Structure 1
Amino acid sequence: MNYHKVVFQPGDVLVEVVEGNTIKEAMNDAGLEFDFLCGGRGTCGKCRVRISEGLGAPVTREQELIQAKELDEGIRLACMTIVRNDLTVELPNQKKLQHHILIESVEGALEIEPQLNKVFVEVEKPSRETQSSDWRRLKESLVKQGYEDSKLESSVSILRQMPDAIRGANNHITAVMYNSRVVGIELEDTTKTMLGMAFDIGTTTIVGYLLDLYSGKELSVVSTLNPQTAFGADVISRLTFASHEENGLIKLQSTVIEAINKLIVEAVQKASVFRNQIYGVSIAANTCMHHIFLGINPQSIAVAPYVPALSEPLVLDASELKISINQAGKVFMLPNIAGFVGADTVAVLLATELDQSEDIKLVIDIGTNGEIALGSREKMVACSAAAGPAFEGAQISSGMRGAVGAIDHVYYRDKLDYSVIGGGKPLGICGSALLDTVAGLVELGIVNKRGKFLAYEQLTNPVARRFKENLIQHEGQGAFLIAEASITGHGRPIMITQSDIRELQMAKGAMAAGVRVLIETYGIQVQDIKEVLLAGAFGNYLNPHSACVIGLIPLELEGKIKMIGNAAGTGAKLALLSSSKFRRSKDIAEHVKFVELGSYPRFNSIFGECTYFNIQ
């Protein structure tokens, strides 16, 4: 077996790689974070690196996706380039890989009911007269604090610690309690501090909130790109990796656990506290991420009838999952609804209190796998729409995630204008800019309702003629130029092609069809919906008008749209701070009626209609 040295710049990161592996695999071995939008399948052409030493001939796929001039300059795709000799690989500027992750959330008043409690007690000293055991005397001291003797219990590991702890603290100890179970024993009085972390584990990003479990105060917020993106950008690719790759599930689970532990360290450092002061962790995640986090094979989600292995809420020992917090710590897993409507949706519904609303509301979390819920306290229905990766920037010619360098909004003024995340030269467009651009093209009549570019001579709107210079040809079809090559950060033009519009039509068609099916299932009209709540990163950065113009959201609802931030994160926080909220999450999951779109009568025709644009 031959090995070759691969050096990654900047940073002089050296790794020895088995001959035949890809640069992508070398990056994984080196522990380098890199965004593979298509999961390394060679379809998006976005994982571009420059090979400065050891350059070989490009493969066919690279010749198809990369311009000849760039190939000559050593530009290659990390997922396609095979290591056959020693290489020096230059990665893009790391600052340009920083992702714009949504951490803000909308919250209301909350009565704190911690999942765990601390009780400081003085254990009566033993005597020759009573001969009571250490455990009996500890129980008696807890009974004095209101606990019921017959319900008190513990574990072997706690009983092993107990004799030394009681005597070492001169009979004054703090019992860490979960319900009536002693899960930890600490010397002296440690009741002043009890912290927890709530996590929203998304397919693309992970956000963690460090909380004071007594006051509910948020002490710090941390976030990261989900490192599982190295194994696949979307749920389906990770399902495939977990089920078919050797040790695939183990790799995915260990990757996310490692990311969680790094975020915990970052969070406590920001708040100037200690990791062993964290006693509870709550997890909201889609069903696939939920299963992978637990190390449960998610294969059943990928095949009909798409059922999860587990839907109930769970309370687990943090140590069992190798979550590095206090040894008494617990992990609270919110329940799933269905195979593709998971605990993150339950968290959103908990945060929005849809189950207690007098009015009918529509809740939408737009993404690769979009979740939609409709209802009130009377009833709730939900579905999952396979929107695909267009909103995340994959399969879009100039697309990228919402990272530094991405154009996030486009404006049709006297001339075309746009804003760039982080400022500076643009590198591509993210989903919100894609919506803005296409919505403008629709309103100006530059594309018709079927999404086809019209020739300049066919334009009837005089305002559309202002953008003559932006109307170009790409691969024999119409396209719309956003930024010329001379002003971009990589020297390539940024544009919207005919193929890009088709991708958007498919994505928005899936979401719109899901909304229409839920409205029909519920038995109401569009105008009966009192409010539209947009959750998640994409929903909070898009322009509602653009979303309605292209038909992603019914046009009649434009004035009823409200952004609610990272509602899944809010729900995870509520479940950690309030035991009653955590119990309510179970009721929500059980009472939501899941609608399988693929089985819905007329779905194909509804979807076809929803791919059209709203032309007034």
Structure 2
Amino acid sequence: MKYNIKIHVGENVTIEEAQSGENLLDFIRRTCGNIETPCNGKGTCGKCRVKVSGLDTIPSEREKKLLGTEALANGYRLACYNTINSDLDIYCAVDKESGKAKILTESKQRDIALNPVITKKFMQLNPPALHDQAPDMERVAACSDSKVVNSIQFLRELPNALRQENFKTTFVYFDGELVSVEPGDTTRKIYGVAVDIGTTTVAGYLYDLNTGKRLDVYSILNPQGKFGADVLSRIDHTTKSEEGQKEINDAIIKCINEMIGHFAEKNNIKKTDIYAVVLAGNTTMMHFFLNLSAKNIAVSPFIPVTTYLSRFLAREVGININSSGYVVTLPCISGYVGADTVAAVLSSGMYESGKISLLLDIGTNGEIVLGSSKWMYCCSTAAGPAFEGANIRNGIGGVAGAIDRVYFKPEFRFTTIDNAKAVGICGSGLVDVVAGMLDSEIIDETGRIVTDDEAESLPEGLRERIKDIDGLRAFVLSKGNENASGMDIAITQKDVRELQNAKAAIAAGIKILIKHAGIKVEDIDKVYLAGGFGNYISIESAVKIGLIPKALKDKVESIGNAAGAGAVEGLLSRDMLMMTEEIKNRMKYIELSAIPEFVNEYVECMIFE
């Protein structure tokens, strides 16, 4: 049996058919595009809330707990908990073309010598004659100053490529190997793309490899997000069915091909003029891109299939560039310290500095690197997704309307991304509000929100924001009649605990690396904050909550999308590409779960100092 489902997006209404018993989350994914599902529909995060009328099922106790009384009263239900057994009206806050994230694409750029791994050389060959009957392959090999690729495609294309312009040809080299022969002089047409595949976002950069000039930038939310906010949820999706692995791989391949198509159309070039794609990303993202099983990364002892610097023919992995072009994946360190960290170390320059630096990429898996030109230690901390808005009552990513800055003095106020009406709070806003609550004594050093009696000494403007929401103490940032969500946007006691867990994991990881290096925190000369969160976070707030040691407050530098910058350096310079292998070999990975003192450090770091 089929039912008619009216989908309301603002004033627009469309009607779609649904099968009886179809899961509401699956229907919304199919018809409305992405919906926030950090837990991938497991019913644990409470984020897939949707306003719906006509649903005759009674909310379960679990659904009631996750939604809260206010959301239920306003007609919201959790999509993953419900199936379609009648005609319904669904009210979507945004359509699949809106709600775009604020994605960091800029970074600190270094001056490097242009020496791309892909090069071209124009050649005028002597045409064959009765007195010169050398086969085409031998003729080309005799003129090439390097070995020729062993490829059936090369051989099949060679006769026409040579004769189309009467043996005026362009030799295309990858890492010194002749990989293609093109008719005529095409030396001016040689482009490459660097891509940073983040868990949340994907950023790409188009470069002219003749000049080293950046021509374009492209960014988008990672389409794999509909399968879960974190890598473990997505790995779980790949193991549920045969289709799961393919869906994950197809999503990122399609995303990158759309990026390449955008670059080609906007910059009036052909996709066949792009010869190289260099990729950075965490270890799981690299596995998903290559369609490798990541299931062993998810369980102890966390073993990936490969961490090598690798090259693949683009056509073999489904990337639509020149048929002789290559995809290069930068090396990873371990299951949870990936190519994005290696790329960030490269672009920061810390690997060549005589002074000690600390690099932090704060996210679901907070990667930390400590070292200098002489030594480097690294680790990954299970910080959880709090910094990216997951597991937080009103947490969202960095989209329009996300509260990104919070101020308590001289009076309470906040700002939102794009100055839009508030819809939730993102990671930088979360750090600000907890730091402000701590400074204003709304929470104590243990993270406990004050009682009503204890709040009597607070200014009225703050005191009136403290209330109980669904049995939890909470601090209200924005009332329902003031924002776009229609419900109070608040930080609950549970949210404070989530942040404490996240910041404790990072802080404890820093302490463990410092101990292993045998140095003092004061010996650190520079702190590099990489990634979007590191770029937007208030350093003062990060220090206040103990995320960054106080002794390092004046040594912090935000370096933007350092992973993307490292991928760009690998695209523009073979020397930098090879340096990523040296960085990998030089870096010593510390598995925190195998360090007995980590738990004690973690517990100590839960406290706000």
| TM-score normalised per structure 1 | 0.94
What are the residue-to-residue correspondences of 1:290-369 with 2, within 5 Å?
Answer: 290-369=286-365
Matched, 1:183 2:179: yes
Find the residue that maps to 1:79 and give its secondary structure.
helix
**CA displacement, residues 354-375 of structure 1 (integer Å, 9 cap, x when unaligned):** 2111110000000011100000
> In structure 2, what is the equivalent of residue 241 of structure 1?
237
In 1, Cα distance between the equivalents of 2:236 and 2:66?
A: 25
- Distance apart, 1:139 and its partner CA: 2.1
Find the residue that maps to 1:305 and give its secondary structure.
coil
> In structure 1, what is the equivalent of residue 59 of structure 2?
59
> In structure 1, what is the equivalent of residue 131 of structure 2?
129
Matched, 1:421 2:417: yes
What are the residue-to-residue correspondences of 1:352-501 with 2, within 5 Å?
Answer: 352-455=348-451, 457-458=453-454, 467-501=462-496
Could you tell me whether the CA contact under 8 Å between 1:37 and 1:229 is conserved in 2?
yes
* Cα distance change of structure 1 residues 448 and 194 upon mapping to structure 2, 3 Å threshold: same
* Cα distance change of structure 1 residues 493 and 31 upon mapping to structure 2, 3 Å threshold: closer
Could you tell me whether the CA contact under 8 Å between 1:368 and 1:391 is conserved in 2?
yes
In 1, Cα distance between the equivalents of 2:249 and 2:477?
A: 40
What are the residue-to-residue correspondences of 1:190-269 with 2, within 5 Å?
Answer: 190-269=186-265
> In structure 2, what is the equivalent of residue 514 of structure 1?
509
In 1, Cα distance between the equivalents of 2:531 and 2:253?
A: 22
Q: Judge which range, 382-391 or 437-446, deviates more.
A: 437-446
Q: Judge which range, 238-247 or 436-445, deviates more.
A: 238-247
Structure 2 stretches lacking a partner, 5+ long: none
Find the residue that maps to 1:422 and give its secondary structure.
helix
- Distance apart, 1:41 and its partner CA: 2.3
* Cα distance change of structure 1 residues 497 and 204 upon mapping to structure 2, 3 Å threshold: same
> In structure 1, what is the equivalent of residue 563 of structure 2?
568
Q: Judge which range, 499-508 or 258-267, deviates more.
A: 258-267
The number of aligned residues is: 605
In 2, Cα distance between the equivalents of 1:34 and 1:473?
A: 28
Q: Judge which range, 273-282 or 181-190, deviates more.
A: 181-190
* Cα distance change of structure 1 residues 484 and 335 upon mapping to structure 2, 3 Å threshold: same
Could you tell me whether the CA contact under 8 Å between 2:71 and 2:487 is conserved in 1?
no
> In structure 2, what is the equivalent of residue 116 of structure 1?
118
- Distance apart, 1:70 and its partner CA: 4.9
- Distance apart, 1:125 and its partner CA: 0.8
In 2, Cα distance between the equivalents of 1:255 and 1:9?
A: 26
In 1, Cα distance between the equivalents of 2:14 and 2:218?
A: 26
Matched, 1:584 2:586: no
In 1, Cα distance between the equivalents of 2:28 and 2:324?
A: 36
- Distance apart, 1:315 and its partner CA: 0.7
Matched, 1:611 2:606: yes
In 1, Cα distance between the equivalents of 2:167 and 2:547?
A: 65
Could you tell me whether the CA contact under 8 Å between 2:163 and 2:183 is conserved in 1?
no
Could you tell me whether the CA contact under 8 Å between 1:5 and 1:87 is conserved in 2?
yes
- Distance apart, 1:13 and its partner CA: 6.1
- Distance apart, 1:457 and its partner CA: 4.3
Amino acid at match of 2:594: S
In 2, Cα distance between the equivalents of 1:379 and 1:185?
A: 44
In 1, Cα distance between the equivalents of 2:291 and 2:327?
A: 14
- Distance apart, 1:466 and its partner CA: 5.1
2:103 pairs, out of 70, 81, 101, with 101
Amino acid at match of 1:39: N
* Cα distance change of structure 1 residues 180 and 402 upon mapping to structure 2, 3 Å threshold: closer
* Cα distance change of structure 1 residues 357 and 463 upon mapping to structure 2, 3 Å threshold: farther
* Cα distance change of structure 1 residues 184 and 26 upon mapping to structure 2, 3 Å threshold: farther
Amino acid at match of 2:418: G
Q: Judge which range, 441-450 or 472-481, deviates more.
A: 472-481
- Distance apart, 1:18 and its partner CA: 4.3
> In structure 1, what is the equivalent of residue 83 of structure 2?
82
| TM-score normalised per structure 2 | 0.95
Amino acid at match of 2:258: K
Could you tell me whether the CA contact under 8 Å between 1:112 and 1:216 is conserved in 2?
yes
In 1, Cα distance between the equivalents of 2:389 and 2:70?
A: 24
Find the residue that maps to 1:589 and give its secondary structure.
helix
* Cα distance change of structure 1 residues 252 and 189 upon mapping to structure 2, 3 Å threshold: same
> In structure 2, what is the equivalent of residue 166 of structure 1?
162
Amino acid at match of 1:104: E
Amino acid at match of 2:55: L
Could you tell me whether the CA contact under 8 Å between 2:117 and 2:572 is conserved in 1?
yes
Find the residue that maps to 2:336 and give its secondary structure.
coil
Could you tell me whether the CA contact under 8 Å between 1:36 and 1:232 is conserved in 2?
yes
* Cα distance change of structure 1 residues 450 and 68 upon mapping to structure 2, 3 Å threshold: closer
Could you tell me whether the CA contact under 8 Å between 1:196 and 1:280 is conserved in 2?
yes
Find the residue that maps to 1:162 and give its secondary structure.
helix
* Cα distance change of structure 1 residues 62 and 358 upon mapping to structure 2, 3 Å threshold: same
Structure 1 stretches lacking a partner, 5+ long: none
Matched, 1:23 2:24: yes
**CA displacement, residues 428-453 of structure 1 (integer Å, 9 cap, x when unaligned):** 11111111111111122221111012
- Distance apart, 1:5 and its partner CA: 5.1
- Distance apart, 1:6 and its partner CA: 4.4
- Distance apart, 1:463 and its partner CA: 6.8
**CA displacement, residues 318-375 of structure 1 (integer Å, 9 cap, x when unaligned):** 0001101111110010011001001110000111122111110000000011100000
In 2, Cα distance between the equivalents of 1:69 and 1:599?
A: 44
Amino acid at match of 2:318: K
Find the residue that maps to 1:439 and give its secondary structure.
helix
- CA RMSD, 1 decimal: 2.0
In 2, Cα distance between the equivalents of 1:88 and 1:464?
A: 44
Find the residue that maps to 1:306 and give its secondary structure.
coil
**CA displacement, residues 571-603 of structure 1 (integer Å, 9 cap, x when unaligned):** 000111111111110111111100011111211
In 2, Cα distance between the equivalents of 1:184 and 1:31?
A: 44
- Distance apart, 1:180 and its partner CA: 4.0
> In structure 2, what is the equivalent of residue 546 of structure 1?
541
> In structure 2, what is the equivalent of residue 33 of structure 1?
34
In 1, Cα distance between the equivalents of 2:72 and 2:480?
A: 17
Could you tell me whether the CA contact under 8 Å between 2:412 and 2:461 is conserved in 1?
no
**CA displacement, residues 536-589 of structure 1 (integer Å, 9 cap, x when unaligned):** 011111100100110011111111111000000000001111111111101111
**CA displacement, residues 159-189 of structure 1 (integer Å, 9 cap, x when unaligned):** 1111122122211122221134332232211
